[in-house]
Amino acid sequence: MPQPPEIRASLFVTCIVDQLYPQVGVSAVRVLRRLGVAVDFPADQTCCGQPLYNSGFTRPARQLAERVLHSFADSQYIVVPSGSCAAMLRVFYRDLFAGDPELERPARQLAERVYEFSEFLVKIVGVTDLGAVYPAAATYHSSCHLLRELAVRQEPAQLLEKVAGLGLAPLPQAETCCGFGGTFSVKYPHISEGMLADKIGNIQATGADTLVSCDMSCLMHIGGGLSRQGHPVAVRHIAQVLDGAPEGEAVNG
Amino acid sequence: MATPLPSPLGTPKDEFLAQVRRSLGRPAAAESTEPAEPYYRLTEDAAELERQGAAAQQRREQEQTGLVDRLAETAQLRGWQVFRAPNPEEAIGYVALLATAQGVTQAVRSAQEVFTGLPLDAALENLGIPTITVAQDETHSRAGLREQIIRSGLGLTGADYAVAETGSVVVMPRRGLSRLVSLVPPIHVALVRPQDVVASLDDLFLLRRLEYHRNGGDMGSYLNFITGPSRTADIEQQLVVGVHGPKEVHLILLG
Amino acid sequence: MAEVKTQEFVAASGAAMQNPTLRRALRQVGTGFNGARLEAIDEVGPQLWEEWREEAQRIKRHTIDHLDYYLEMLHDNVTKAGGQVHFARDAAEANGIVAELARTRQVKLATKSKSMVSEELDLNQALEGIGVEVFETDLGEYIIQLAGETPSHLVAPALHKTKEQVAELFNDQLGVPLTDDIEEMARTAREALRQKFLQADLGISGANFLVAETGTLVIITNEGNGRLCTSAPRLHIGITGMEKVIPSVQDLALFLRLLPRSATGQRLTSYVSMVSGPRRSDDEDGPEEFHLVLVDNGRSKLLADPDLRESLYCIRCGACLNICPVYQKIGGHAYGWVYPGPIGAIVSPTLVGLKQAKDLPQASSLCGACREACPVKINIPRMLLHLRHKLAESQDPEEKSTSAMDSLAARGYTWLMNNPSALTALGKLGRAAQQPLAGKGKIEKLPLPLVSQWTKTRDLPLLPQRTFREIWAQELGQAGSSIASPTSRDTESRDAGSGG
């Protein structure tokens, strides 16, 4: 039987995973490689530019975006362990370069190859059952960008449902923002905290001991609040759960 | 009648529209020209509109029984108290019973066709409930009739249309159909005949538009959809029935 | 024009967050109207609902792109129906038109049905200034008029008030006994306003839609006050923004399906009233005169900016407010002008001046819930980004308003992210610097600008021993390391995500 062609994925690890949660990137690589995906990591990648773009600084955001266009020009697929950063590459780059005679086309071509991690597993690799084991009572938080910019609604749940030992309680008001919003959380901390308090209340109501998400930025925010308030709820990126990385082995959430 | 203003107030129309055109990136001085890609609804010719109208009318006649059933269902959901009267006697009986039970001392009604041959006034008079037809003539002035409406506990109207989709009664105030009869008294009773019912908002507006073009461009001064009782949710988003309009609305389906 | 307090956003939203009564009043925002909206959409079915939204957006886009043409058509047809159209460039002119009409027609008493545009213009004050008594008749508007306040919601103006507050207000202003029965409060309003309706010389209404083809003003109401205002007085003035026009009377079928469902979850409101001119000579009743005042007041600025133009598609249903997690927290008044919530954060800065209202487009987490809720598919987050872009980088000094600190931070960040080696070096510095903080395995206080705001209520993770790029370079990227395990020095440390 002929072998199916190899799937090649370039990891856009995101600056938050690179700098703060490298273990998430490690888990993502391990999961992909176990599935036979050839993973590479363009070493000159940094930030997608979203913090600048969201603050209105489109000129510098474009500089960083150009860097991404260049670094990933030859990639077959670009896999991003973040719904938010994936949305930047796939959705907002098109706005950023709209009407640009040189870069509009590359931006559109990049957009077609960008996948959020869980979406990539289900849509491109075509798996939902990874044979992972992760004993925990979990609930799942969807990031707003994953949900509304990428319309990735089912894929994370499809993957998590197949994880042995993982209980998955539905999160009340699952589609409401946690209040992170990048600079929003530090420019308007009082509002952000109010939103976070609601989110934490809903997480607690599930009785979960683990909060899973596809975005470390939301998890940094929610986890930071949980930790400050002394709630014993661990936060995990979906890659860590699918990697079956048990609690003791986890690094930085 | 006050004298109309010789010319409008404020910014002259052409100047105002010039600003709009500038904002749209078009030459300010130009005339307002028809859109290059005209809107499909305003481009059909009269024959096409007639054809569509005839189709709607045909639907209306063919599906009448089904439409009446559907109206009864949706109207109830929207807060009408629905009564199906197989014959005029039962309709009159229902109104008489309602008026008595609610302690109505005077009623008003419009002068619509639906009341012709329906001895409703006499029935109510027999119960000691005077029923005034709101229609001006030599002896009934506008102001006098208005006073009668204000004093009445019950207002009766027909329906120019009833919409099965939404459970609405549509009235088009004009001669013989006061705006206030269905609005000011605390109880409104609408009498609907099978031929009044249309399937949908689409059909209703199509028929209205057809009529508008047929009669040389007059919509009539007013058209009202009535869909259940007066209500509000302005305090704590809690629904309360009966504010400025009728708290109680009854829809009698005739025949 | 209504008083502008958008500059006070930070203080006002802070105070709102601390106000327990407001908290209680806002409790239902996410569930009440919004819950009913979702149920109504569910009943329609998501696919059909989406088709409706698409169609509505197409109609609105077409009309707004040819606004001059449709305004002209509207003008001609209102005139043909016996009404008169007046165009107002700004608030002062609009108020002047209404005042002049009131004066020349000896108006002493006016009743008003709900109109956000009249709130924008502060029309009541203008009329009271010439001795006309004005009564708001929508229950919510009546409440806030009695309280001397402004609306906090597009659809439910008194949403910020609890029923206890309303009861006290009625007790205080109208002398009725205290009650906790909302139905009784509605009855009180009915009784208090009934005579006003019948005595009023002038009825003022807004408009939900204006039909160009037939010259018809459409209002969508529930209480019956709109019908009374447009039926009982001898004079009717409709006043509204110029963007409310739609081409054909047949378009109403679609908009009547979308608007009530989006606003309150109703399949249709109790009343839809369509006014085409004054009463005809043999009508039983109705106003002798009908005037339509069409207001620009800054809307042409929204029209002129291709990135903001679609905000004029708004049908003022309030769905974006109800679903907005920020609005749910702070309510409407904190936004500081007539139009609150996500759509207000687009419209207000343009109408009052971006520099006056620079917090509005920024005080959003860009979660996108508003766009998803919008029945005409207005891309609100994209317009918020556009306004942020103007604040940060506009060539126009009237628009640009960014702190030196923010500009510097943006430049520094860009430089850093363009120099991966500098990023690595900075990471090393950070790891050394965090040693004194590392005891608890998390950072509870970091006295850096902005970050200190974060650590007031949230912990931060410590920097890991190695960045991902270092792990990749040292292990993962090596041939044969396909399923590398992290080494012990990466796993030794803290678990920032766990509170236990």
Q: Report the residue from B79, B202, B235 with minimal CB separation from C158.
A: B235
Domains of chain C: 66-295 (3.40.50.10420), 404-479 (no CATH)
Q: Is residue B54 part of a domain?
A: no
Above 70 in pLDDT, residue A1?
no
- Alpha helices by DSSP H, listed for C214-298, are 225-231, 252-264
Above 80 in pLDDT, residue C13?
yes
Q: Which of A57-66, C136-145, C259-268, C400-409 has the lowest mean pLDDT?
A: C400-409
**Mean local confidence (pLDDT), C291-317:** 98
- Tell me how many domains chain B contains: 1
CB-defined contacts A:C, below 8 A: 260
Q: Is the dihedral of CA A224, A229, A230, A233 positive or negative?
A: negative
Above 90 in pLDDT, residue A10?
yes
**Mean local confidence (pLDDT), C141-158:** 95
At which residue do the structure tokens 């703060």 appear?
A20
Q: What percent of chain C has pLDDT above 70? A: 95
Above 60 in pLDDT, residue A247?
no
- pLDDT for C496: 37
Above 50 in pLDDT, residue C243?
yes
C-alpha distance from B213 to closest chain C C-alpha (Å):
10
From the list C206, C204, C201, C202, the residue with the least C-alpha distance to C294 is C206
Neighbours of chain C (3+ CB pairs under 8 A): A, B
Q: With contact defined as beta carbons under 8 Å apart, do A35 and A103 qualify? A: no
Q: How far apart are CA C258 and CA A148, in angstroms?
A: 21
Q: How confident is the model at residue C431 (pLDDT cuts 50, 70, 90)?
A: confident
**Mean local confidence (pLDDT), C207-219:** 98
- pLDDT for C495: 40
Residue type, C144: I
- The strand pairing partners of C294, in sequence order, are C87, C240
Render pLDDT for A170-195 as a digit per residue (tens, 0 to 9).
Answer: 999 999 999 999 999 999 999 999 99
Render pLDDT for C447-479 as a digit per residue (tens, 0 to 9).
Answer: 777 788 888 889 998 999 999 999 999 999 876
DSSP annotation of C83: -
- Alpha helices by DSSP H, listed for chain B, are 13-23, 46-62, 64-77, 88-101, 120-126, 142-151, 201-214
Per-domain residue ranges of chain A: 8-123, 130-248
Which residue of C22, C458, C488 is the best one to mutate when testing the A interface, meaning the one whose CB has the most A CBs within 10 A? C458
**For residue B30, what are the contacts with CB-CB under 8 A and spacing of at least 6?**
B21
- pLDDT for C491: 42
Strands B168-171 and B222-226: antiparallel
Residue B153, domain CATH: 3.40.50.10420
Going from the C-alpha of A195 to that of each of A143, A217, B151, C51, the distances in angstroms are 14, 15, 53, 32
Q: Look up residue C50 and give its two tokens.
A: 């989406």
- pLDDT for B34: 82
Q: Is C449 left (phi over 0), alpha (psi -120 to 50) or beta?
A: beta
Above 70 in pLDDT, residue C285?
yes
Q: How far apart are CA C86 and CA C98, in angstroms?
A: 10
Q: How confident is the model at residue C489 (pLDDT cuts 50, 70, 90)?
A: very low
**Mean local confidence (pLDDT), C18-44:** 93
**φ/ψ of residue A16, rounded to 5:** -70, -40
User: Spelled out in words, what is the top-level CATH class assigned to the domain A130-248?
Assistant: alpha beta
At which residue do the structure tokens 């919409």 appear?
B163
Q: Contact B178/C284, CB-based, under 8 Å?
A: yes
Above 60 in pLDDT, residue C487?
no
Q: Contact C495/A250, CB-based, under 8 Å?
A: yes
- pLDDT for B40: 79
DSSP string over C218-235: EEEESSSHHHHHHHSSSE
Q: Could you give the strand order of the β-sheet that contains A210-213, starting from the edge strand earlier in sequence?
A: A164-169, A133-141, A210-213, A234-237
Contacts of A25 in chain C (CB under 8 A): 468, 471-472
Q: Taking every pair of C-alpha atoms in chain C, what is the biggest distance, in angstroms?
A: 94
In whole numbers, what is the pLDDT of chain C averaged over residues?
A: 93
Q: Contact C364/A56, CB-based, under 8 Å?
A: no
Q: Which of A25-34, B36-45, C134-143, C194-203 has the lowest mean pLDDT?
A: B36-45
Above 90 in pLDDT, residue C179?
yes
**Which residue ranges of chain B lie beneath pLDDT 70?**
1-4
What is the 3 state secondary structure string of A188-252?
A: CHHHHHHHHHHHHHHHHHHCCCEEEECCHHHHHHHHHHHHHCCCCCEEEEHHHHHCCCCHHHCCC
Which residue of A29, A66, A210, A211 is the best one to mutate when testing the C interface, meaning the one whose CB has the most C CBs within 10 A? A29
- pLDDT for C402: 86
Above 80 in pLDDT, residue A249?
no
- pLDDT for C424: 85
Burial of A233 (0-12, 13-18, 19+ CB in 10 A): buried
Q: By the CB < 8 Å criterion, does C281 face chain B?
A: no
Q: Which of residues 105-134 of A touch C (CB under 8 A)?
A: none
Render pLDDT for C59-84 as a digit per residue (tens, 0 to 9).
Answer: 999 999 999 999 999 999 999 999 99
